[in-house]
A and B are shown apart, each in its own frame.
Chain A
Amino acid sequence: MSPRRRPSGGRIDRLRTIRFTFDGTAFTGHQGDTLASALLANGVSLFGRSFKYHRPRGLLTAGVDEPNALVTVLRGDVREPNIPATMVEIHDGLVAVSQNRFPSLAYDVSAVNQLGGKVLSAGFYYKTFMGPVVGPLKGTRFWMLCEKIIRRAAGLGRAGHAPDTARYERMNAFCDVLVVGSGPAGLAAAREAAASGANVILAELDPQFGGSANWSGETIDGEPAAAWASDIVGELRDQANVRLLKRTTVWGYYDDNTLAAVERVSDHKASPAKGAPRHRHWTIRAGKVVLATGAFERPLVFPGNDRPGVVMASAAQRYANEFGVLPGDKVAVFTNNDSAYRSAVALNNAGATVATIVDVRAEISEECHTLARQCGAELIVGHAVTATEGGKKLTGIKLAPFTEAAGALSSGARSVEADCLLMSGGWSPTIHLASQAGARPLWDAELQAFLPPEAGKGWVGAGAFNGTFSTAQAIAEGFAAGRVAADLAMVEIGTLPDVEPAALDPRPAPVFEIRAKGKSFVDFQHDVTSDDVRLAHIEGFVSVEHLKRYTTLGMATDQGKGSNVPGLAIMAEALGKPIPEVGTTRFRPPYAPVSVGALAAERFGDLKPERLTPMHDWHLDNEATMYSAGLWFRPMIYGGPGETIEQAYVREARVTRETAGIVDVSTLGKIAVQGPDAAELLDRAYSNVFSTLPVGKARYGLMLREDGLVFDDGTTWRLGDNDFLMTTTTANAGKVMQHLEYFLDVVWPDLKVHLTSVTDQWAGAAIGGPKAREILAACVTGTKVDNEALPFMGIVHGEIAGAPVMICRLSFSGEMAFEVYSGAGHGIHVWEALIEAGQPFGMVPYGLEALGTMRIEKGHVTGAEIDGRTSARDLHLGWMLSRKKPFIGSAMMDREGLVASGRLELVGLVSLDNRPLSGGAHIVEDVDMDNPHGSLGHITAACFSPALEKYIALALVADGKARHGKRAHVSDPLRDRFGPVEIVSHHFFDPEGKRMHG
């Protein structure tokens, strides 16, 4: 048993010894210990270094508000930085290291920063490091040089770069009542709500339920409070309508009572159970929320208040009562309120000597006198601590007479030896979630604290959250809150539970700071001192937000849980205004830091699902290199051995134009447009006319946006009078669907049309080339495919290898081509039959690159040209704009800016130096490699054309059509490619369409 561990008491299991290391040293602790309690038990007092001055720091708290004792937990190569030691449960094999120190925690060279003293005051960096106005360090350079050095010193823990292999999961939950916090108030609320049959979730951030009942030392109805709590938890655990979540921090209160919580499922284990996550991110939609989140004890601000050994009084009590650990042997207490007296008694009961209790108040209650006597302490009222002594560990304190009214010290200083100083500056209710929910806190001058306002619409509060510091009252409020939340009629609570000992007076003296010589810390982690707050005042940064931003007060990992109110109080004093006039802080999520992994949860490592065509596996089996197109995967090329991408696509395109090729077009968006007004809808949505399209035929259509610019294109097939199959581009399938749905539902609700996404219903294969028809004829049954039965844009129904197919003769490649649609479940079957039929002809499968090559040769547009800025005329599609009817976009498409000269128009380019062109290269009249300028436009797509045996491209060029036949240059400084091109029509190949019309 270590020197500071008491032989009995607390929730730790002394029969179970756990081994862990801290900074490489092996330690032992017990089941139930936190890293903080275990190290404390081992006599460790130095836990970390502060941010700016690298001052040595010990444990200040026992919970989530810890600003000092931050560690990095290592799991193999995976680092988890900045975890408060108070929140780490030890387990066998735990490896933790301290941070922000070099070379070691005990000897940190950056501690020299403390010598900077007042030069490094708040905001000093705004006033210097600007450097010279001229010379090599002008502009931003001097600052950036300084910044390099600053960045080397900055930061707390170090993040690792090894991928985290842990699991994170998300869980959606719904309940009638969510109770946040399981202290006496929360337990009472949960019990009452659950008894009514309501679905209840009880969330507790600690590893065990009970809150203060676990360490208060009180008895409730004759039973130790911890036992009382565990009885209730036992009851709740057996109820089907109750879900108990421990190690669960409710960190966010979002709109409509959506609360976010993170459950640390496996952090306390050496390894998680199979399939179990490390963290589980709960999204809880609650009917009502009971906020029973308790309160934080506040530090007092006085010189040396950050020396290791100075600890919050309630935290010391927790260490003694909950963990059986004494934070010191010889204890002093410094307080402005009654609650610390109970802490002193607790430490005394646990075996510590309480040397002195220093109280700023001149007069204290009889109970406090009794308690001081009970723990054998010298009671020094009307005094304040003015300094702490010792190096990296407290050895004593200095005190002096203090008058509360004047806030002034007077002579008569003395010293007291102590290795631990308990401090208490009053309590701040944990109102963060209520604040997130929009409540504006109210200052209570009696309690010297911000209290939540009256219950909000979605929540009700109970216990210390409300500023109710009596356990008996808190239980009564919990009971009432449980009934309110469960929508039950209020009943008279019989008698208050009998809590011993009786509650003390909760009102502290309004003393926040003892002004004496030396650094007095307000924000411990960020080293913000009371002088920094006053400097902010002198410089006019007096609103609470300016104070925070200028001094960084409250911006540390503890988010100002302890420092906000003292900081405000010091500013208020400087301004000579009451605290509420300085302002209150609005709390934002998260209440406590949350791992990014937990929030990414089920999408960690799987950001987006993959969309696969029915033929996906075939492509992979046939050496396809896949290309991600949105969520889809499509073959880019089918690479032969040793082929480059260019060789592969040129081969695929060439063979297709010579004999035949086949490409998977299943990704095209497909929308079933059905109903008596289907044709009318299409007439309104497309710029061209569809109502005249005969059944059994397809037509190419163009859609504009309302603003008159091009939206999407595709073919639409008329399968019946009232039955159309619309195809869209792959990329815009979802957008087109939403666009049409919007018009049908909101603008034209009278049209009788149903839209259904049938993209996934159909597998599509486009087969093109001079032999395409012969290949089809060889495998299609039930229909002819000759010119008569299947003219250009005709549709037939038949079978391939026994599977029903629908074939439309249309062409993107410019060849005689057919799109063969089959049920997706028959996709591979039909595809393989087509491949087999094509084999005698030497047909090849081709990918997106060859598809792109052939469409460039034909001058067909895709998303690269339909980029949201081009008009139909820019793309030479003006002929598709019907003059016979209005359509979406028709009213806006002729605005002056859209018909002005100088617009970028689609052209073709031919490389005149026989070198490749690239998408994204710009076009200029005269090349200037050193100072590129005068861009006329840019290349949208480029390829080597096997049909033309040239490098060609499509481009958008200012007044492009007028430049046909003229020379220009590519200017691509990013890829150092410059060279001459000829601007030509975008119809490079077979402009009359002889090949596809056959």
Chain B
Amino acid sequence: MLITCPYCGPRDVSEFAYQGDGNRSRPDPSSTDLAAWNAYVYDRLNPAGAHNEIWQHAGGCRAHLAVVRDTLSHEISSVRFAREKGAPAHGRRKSGAKP
């Protein structure tokens, strides 16, 4: 797998450290809403398909990247610096649940 770092260009996946689900938003630091904290710390989106993820180019420029990657094909559709807009916007699939 290659990840195209916006600074360094395409690099081997071995240079990157996975930092997981990029859809999580951290509650306000002073929040005492334990459910919100629990969701942030422990719950993850885990789609079979396009997934917003955070990767760090740990063996390169060390920037954190917001990556949209398909978990079935491993194809990457977008990469940008995570810090530019915070966490990436949701591009996740709709639930298939019946009402």
Q: Do A and B come from one complex?
A: yes
B1 x A258 contact (CB < 8 A):
yes
Contact of A285 among B2, B19, B31, B62 (CB under 8 A): B2
CA distance A742 to B20 in the complex (A): 11
CA distance A258 to B19 in the complex (A): 23
CA distance A745 to B81 in the complex (A): 9
A745 x B1 contact (CB < 8 A):
no
Closest to A744 in B: B83
CB distance from A711 to the nearest CB of B (A): 13
- Number of chain A residues whose Cβ lies closer than 8 Å to a Cβ of chain B: 23
CA distance A255 to B1 in the complex (A): 5
Q: Is B67 an interface residue (CB 8 A)?
A: no
A745 x B87 contact (CB < 8 A):
no
CB distance from A922 to the nearest CB of B (A): 30
Q: Is A108 an interface residue (CB 8 A)?
A: no
A742 x B1 contact (CB < 8 A):
no
Interface members, chain A 705-726 (any B CB < 8 Å)? 706-707
A742 x B56 contact (CB < 8 A):
yes
Q: Is A239 an interface residue (CB 8 A)?
A: no
Interface 0/1 of B70-99, CB less than 8 Å to A: 000111100000111011000000000000
CA distance A283 to B83 in the complex (A): 32
B83 x A745 contact (CB < 8 A):
yes
Q: Is A222 an interface residue (CB 8 A)?
A: no
**Quick one: given A255-B74, A738-B58, A891-B37, are A746 and B86 in contact (CB under 8 Å)?**
yes
CA distance A475 to B56 in the complex (A): 46
A742 x B19 contact (CB < 8 A):
yes
Chain B contact-residue range equals 20 to 34
B12 x A892 contact (CB < 8 A):
no
A886 proximity list for chain B (CB < 8 A): 29-30
CA distance A962 to B25 in the complex (A): 40
| A interface, over-half SS | mixed
A438 proximity list for chain B (CB < 8 A): 73
CA distance A886 to B87 in the complex (A): 22
Q: Is A826 an interface residue (CB 8 A)?
A: no
A892 proximity list for chain B (CB < 8 A): 34, 37-38, 41
Interface members, chain A 895-954 (any B CB < 8 Å)? 895
A283 proximity list for chain B (CB < 8 A): 12
B27 x A254 contact (CB < 8 A):
no
A746 x B1 contact (CB < 8 A):
no
Interface members, chain B 15-38 (any A CB < 8 Å)? 17, 19, 26-27, 29-32, 34, 37-38
B2 x A741 contact (CB < 8 A):
no
CA distance A438 to B17 in the complex (A): 25
A745 proximity list for chain B (CB < 8 A): 56, 63-64, 82-83
Contact of A746 among B30, B58, B87 (CB under 8 A): B87
B38 proximity list for chain A (CB < 8 A): 892
A706 proximity list for chain B (CB < 8 A): 40-41
Contact of B82 among A254, A707, A738, A746 (CB under 8 A): A746
A746 x B19 contact (CB < 8 A):
yes
CB distance from A631 to the nearest CB of B (A): 15
A891 x B82 contact (CB < 8 A):
no
Q: Is B54 an interface residue (CB 8 A)?
A: yes
Interface 0/1 of A277-307, CB less than 8 Å to B: 0000001010000000000000000000000
B26 proximity list for chain A (CB < 8 A): 747
B10 proximity list for chain A (CB < 8 A): 285
Interface members, chain A 858-917 (any B CB < 8 Å)? 886-887, 890-892, 895
CA distance A706 to B42 in the complex (A): 10
Q: Is A342 an interface residue (CB 8 A)?
A: no
Contact of B34 among A738, A749, A895 (CB under 8 A): A895
A738 x B56 contact (CB < 8 A):
yes
A738 x B17 contact (CB < 8 A):
yes
CA distance A353 to B91 in the complex (A): 70
A891 x B31 contact (CB < 8 A):
yes
Q: Is A684 an interface residue (CB 8 A)?
A: yes
A256 x B19 contact (CB < 8 A):
no
CA distance A738 to B16 in the complex (A): 12
CA distance A706 to B27 in the complex (A): 12
CA distance A438 to B54 in the complex (A): 26
- Please list the residues of chain B having a beta carbon within 8 angstroms of any beta carbon in chain A: 1-2, 10, 12-13, 17, 19, 26-27, 29-32, 34, 37-38, 40-42, 54, 56, 58, 62-64, 73-76, 82-84, 86-87
A255-B75, A684-B29 known, 6 other contacts, Cβ within 8 Å: A256-B74, A746-B64, A746-B82, A747-B26, A887-B29, A892-B34
Q: 29 A-B residue contacts at CB 8 Å? A: A255-B1, A255-B2, A256-B2, A258-B1, A258-B2, A258-B12, A283-B12, A285-B2, A285-B10, A285-B12, A707-B41, A738-B56, A742-B64, A745-B56, A745-B63, A745-B82, A745-B83, A746-B64, A746-B83, A746-B87, A749-B82, A749-B86, A887-B29, A891-B27, A891-B29, A891-B31, A891-B32, A891-B34, A892-B34
Closest CB pairs A-B (n = 8): A749-B83, A745-B64, A886-B29, A255-B1, A256-B2, A255-B74, A891-B37, A746-B82
